[in-house]
Amino acid sequence: MGINNIDRICIVGAGNMGHQIALSTAIAGFKVKCTDVNEEVLKKAEQFVSTYLPERVAKGKLKQTDADTARANLMFTSDLAEAASDADLVIEAAIENLEIKRQLFAQLDRLCPPHTILATNSSYIVSSKIADVTTRPEKVCNMHFFNPALVMKLVEVVKGPHTSEDTTGLLMEVCVRMGKTPVLLKQEIYGFLVNRMLTAIKNESIYLLDMGIAGHEEIDTAVTLALGYPMGPFRLMDLTGIDLTYYVGMERYQETGDPANRPSPLIVEKFIKKEWGRKTGKGFYDYPKK
């Protein structure tokens, strides 16, 4: 199968990531069906599209005809069978729960034509944990977009031991057609590239704070001023949620049994105090309600 055989894309999940991936693929000229079990999420996604496209046209970023084509190429449905049964490529962007993903991939394997590639947007569930529920493991792969998917250029395409090179090659080409910058991971590894490197920075920063070497603000200042990072690690954790840092650390620790993976004392403290960052009004920094 070549890139020209990929015409119809199904996006499973219309949430945070799914609706933006759907819109990105539609703008790139693919015929896209986006599906979700939750009608409300689906409706919100559709509303987003009807405001986003005119805005882009108004800003001169998109031609009216291209916006019209994108809108015509994109449909939303709560029926998985309708969305997936004629797809050449499925990008699954459902909730990050292994059991749900395994059920979904088994269903997709039944619904889709034999040639269909089944990709997951999961940021940390490697596709080998899912591939065995399908009859087409060579067509199962990770295709990890970043949030917000309409803006962020990077896509991590992760080849599992079961994934064929044809599959990764095609996904790389789909990314390029979408105007993305794909990188190919030749082996599966927890956290892929970006989250691993980000975690390395976070862990070292938390260690420096735990050891009482410097305050969170000073560490953020050091990183932004001397290394030119757009944001320090503590400001970033406040944005992504300290609860998430806690859960990921705990999950990792339970999986590996390595004490080095345990969340740091400070993260545990913040988690228990419900100082989870921006969303709770307080994390490492204070966010006064306006």
Partner 1 sequence: MKIEDIKTICVVGAGNMGHQIAVCCALAGYQVTCTDINLETLNKAESFANSYLGERVTKGKLSPAQADNALAKLRFTSSLEDAAGDADFVIEAAVEKMDIKRKLFADLDRIAPSHAILATNSSYIVSSRVADATNRPDKICNMHFFNPALVMKLVEVVQGPHTSTETAQVTMDLSAKLGKVAVWLKKEIYGFLVNRILSALCKEALFLADMGIATPEEIDLAVTNALGHPMGPFRLMDLTGIDLSYYSAMERYQTSGDPKDKPSPLVVEKFTKGEWGKKTKKGYYTYE
The three-state secondary structure class of 32 is strand
Looking up tokens 């916006």 gives 67
Stretch that binds partner 1, among 160-168, 204-212, 262-270, 274-282 (CB under 8 A): 204-212
Interface with partner 1, residue 256, by CB under 8 A: no
Contacting residue, 125, 150, 185, 268, with partner 1 by CB under 8 A: 185
The residue from 85, 128, 164, 195 that is catalytic is 195
The residue from 24, 92, 127, 156 that is catalytic is 156
Contacting residue, 85, 203, 261, 280, with partner 1 by CB under 8 A: 203
User: How far apart are the C-alpha atoms of 276 and 84, rounded to whole Å?
Assistant: 37
Contacting residue, 205, 240, 245, 264, with partner 1 by CB under 8 A: 205
Q: Which runs of E-coded beta strand occur in 43-201? A: 74-77, 89-92, 117-120, 140-145, 154-158, 181-185
**Torsion angle, alpha carbons of 176, 182, 187, 191, to 10:** -140
The three-state secondary structure class of 10 is strand
String of contacts with partner 1 for each residue 212-251, x by CB under 8 A: xxx---xx-xxx-xxxxxxx-x------------------
Contacting residue, 128, 129, 133, 146, with partner 1 by CB under 8 A: 146
Torsion sign across C-alpha atoms 124, 194, 152, 237? positive
**Annotated catalytic, 195?**
yes
Question: For the chain, what is the total number of helices (H) and then of strands (E)?
Answer: 11, 8
Stretch that binds partner 1, among 9-17, 128-136, 147-155, 278-286 (CB under 8 A): 147-155
Contacting residue, 198, 250, 266, 268, with partner 1 by CB under 8 A: 198
Nearer to partner 1 by C-beta: 37 or 125? 125
Contacting residue, 197, 244, 254, 255, with partner 1 by CB under 8 A: 197
Stretch that binds partner 1, among 41-49, 114-122, 208-216, 239-247 (CB under 8 A): 208-216
**Annotated catalytic, 123?**
yes
Kindly identify the residues of this chain, within the stretch 151-180, that bind partner 1 according to CB under 8 A.
152-154, 156
**Annotated catalytic, 92?**
no
- Residue 144: strand pairing partners: 156
Amino acid code (one letter) for 32:
V
CA-to-CA dists, residue 146 to 15, 101, 176, 284, angstroms: 13, 19, 15, 24
- φ, ψ dihedrals at 99, nearest 5°: -60, -45
Nearer to partner 1 by C-beta: 205 or 264? 205
User: How far apart are the C-alpha atoms of 233 and 244, rounded to whole Å?
Assistant: 14
List residues binding partner 1 (CB under 8 A): 146, 152-154, 156, 181, 183-187, 189, 193-194, 196-201, 203-205, 208, 211-214, 218-219, 221-223, 225-231, 233
Active site residues: 123, 144, 156, 195
